[in-house]
Every structure is written in C-alpha cells, then in structure tokens.
Structure 1
Amino acid sequence: MMALKDDVVVRVAQRRDVPDMVALLREDSLDPNATDANATDLTSYYEAWDEIMLDPNAEILVLDVDGRLVGVAQLNYMRHLARGGMRRCMIENVRIASAFRNQGLGEVLIENCLDLARARGCTLVQLTSNSQRTDAHRFYQRLGFQASHVGMKLYL
C-alpha cells in the first residue's frame, strides 16, 4: 500500500471492494451489456474476482480518497515470444469516479500501475480504451502512451 498524502491511498483491492468497483464500472460504461446497471446480485462479479485473484499474473489496484473508493485499474502480466520473450503489462478497466476527475487522481493511479509493472520486470505497458473516450485518449497520451495499434474485438 502506498500512501500519497493523508487522504489519498492507492492499494491492492480486496474482495470487500467488489461492490464499489462494480459501481465505478457501471457509472462510466459505454457498453450497456458490459455491466448490468440494474443487477443487485453480484455473484458473477465475486466469481470473477475469485478467479482473478487465483491468477498470479493479475492484480487490481484501487484508489481511496478519505476512505472512499474512487478509482480502479486491473493489471495483467504476460510474456510474449516477440521481442525476446519480453514481459508486458496490460492495464484494463481504469475508472475514476466522475466527481473526482480532473484532480490528478488518474495520473496517481496510472503511475502506481507503472511502478508495479516495472517491479514485475515489464518493459512494455499497454492498454486499450474505447474509441469513444477521447478525453481518456488525451489523458493517456499526456502520460506518454502512444496510439500505436488498432484493437479489435469479436464477441463469441
């Protein structure tokens, strides 16, 4: 856990954080099928949490402000055969509560993600961002990320 100042803390998420993390994803989802905004049964989210936590190459960070969870980011570490078997980190599901945006908290969260990636020996960090999130794209570019690839999805 890294304390940034008295009221802002970035820490590894705990199972008890699942409802707050889901609420952040619901608040900012462009895909109505991504998180059911009306669902009260969080069983599938707890099942996902349990599976993610069993993976030694995955972790989730949360950002607390005055004890309130206001940010989340999921990290997945992987090796590739390309570039000499380099280790890379994929950052996904980054969210900052809308009332807390434009205060530098997203940068604090991403910097902590980058620190963890470096500690794991990663030499590349990548992320995806919905093509409609132009503000997020500017944010990531300001932090040094480059739009170098085109991402595609196929739902099965």
Structure 2
Amino acid sequence: MDFLIRRALPTEYEDLGTLTAHAYLDDGLLDYGETDPYLPVLKDVASRAAAAEVLVAVDGDHLLGGVTFVQGPGPVADIARPGEAEIRALAITRTARGRGAGEALVRACIDRARATEGCTTIVLSTQSSMHAAHRIYERLGFVRTPDRDWNPVPHLDDLTLLTYQLTL
C-alpha cells in the first residue's frame, strides 16, 4: 500500500470537502449538479468531524480520498440504530481510483466499528449507480438490506438509496 489511512486534520477539511463534492459531481451523483441541496453537506467536513471521525487516505501530502465513520445514531447518522456504526461520504479522487484507497478506508471503518463497545453491525447507504463502491462493500462481506432502503427526498421517486450492512 503506497498510501496512509489516518484521521483528517482540520487543515484538510476544506480540501476534503472539495474533493468529496467533485467526486459526486463528476460521477453525476447529484441530481441538481452545482445547485443540489446535498452539495453543501458533502463540502461541510468540519460539521461531520465535530460529530464523527473523518478519515483520509493520503500519499505524502496528496489527499486521495476520505470517509466519515459514525459510531452510532446521532446528528451525522442517516440510518444507524443503537448498536450500529455507519459509513458516510466515501469519496476517492478519479486519479487515485484503482489503488485500493476506497477499500482501505472502508476497512479502517470496519476496524473502528469492531473496536467500538456494543457495536455489532456497520451500515451504509449508497446510490444504485455506485457500482465500484458496491463491489468494495460486497468483497468485504457487506450484504444488501433492501428492507432498509430509503429516500432522502421523498418527492424524487428515483432517489432511493440502497443499504448494506456487515455483521461484526
């Protein structure tokens, strides 16, 4: 592995927010592009870091990607229930894809979930078009939980998020 996984530094929050926003925009994952209401959430790494653990993959001083690990229900969680941790906002730069940074970030979240007292499951939400992410999740043992699929914007029928879980 030619990169390091570690906690994001406050000085990296802005760059990670930009990286995450661009990953979602460039992959066509935001229905309204630059005016999508989710874009400010993706950019706001400081708020996620205040309530959860934000991890980054770095190669020297070059940011490759990041993810948010949420220890359980709370202000940053979307679907976590008691006893569950949640993965949010996984994003890798286009130039770093295929190097294993996404998988390494997910593995780091799994390790943190296993080290969290009382945590028995890790959950996540994903869009149906995020095929590369689905392959990572399934390779690491996550299984689909269609009964937990949900829609963050109920008036948009085509925005149902798929859910996965890993029992620890």
TM-score by length of 2: 0.70
Question: Does structure 2 conserve the Cα–Cα contact (< 8 Å) formed by 1:25 and 1:35?
Answer: no
The 5 Å alignment of 1:7-156 reads 7-29=2-24, 30-31=29-30, 32=33, 33=36, 34-35=38-39, 45=43, 48-55=44-51, 58-78=52-72, 86-121=82-117, 122-149=119-146, 150-154=149-153
CA distance in 1, matches of 2:8, 2:154: 28
Which runs of 5 or more residues in structure 2 are unaligned? 74-80, 156-168
| Count of residues in correspondence between the two structures | 136
Seen in structure 2, the aligned counterparts of structure 1 residues 107 and 52 have a Cα distance that, compared at 3 Å, is closer
CA distances 1:106-128 after superposition (whole Å, capped 9, x unpaired): 11111111111111122101111
* Structure (1 or 2) with the larger CA radius of gyration: 1
Q: Which residue is equivalent to 1:39?
A: none
RMSD: 2.6
Which runs of 5 or more residues in structure 1 are unaligned? 37-43, 80-84
Seen in structure 2, the aligned counterparts of structure 1 residues 54 and 109 have a Cα distance that, compared at 3 Å, is closer
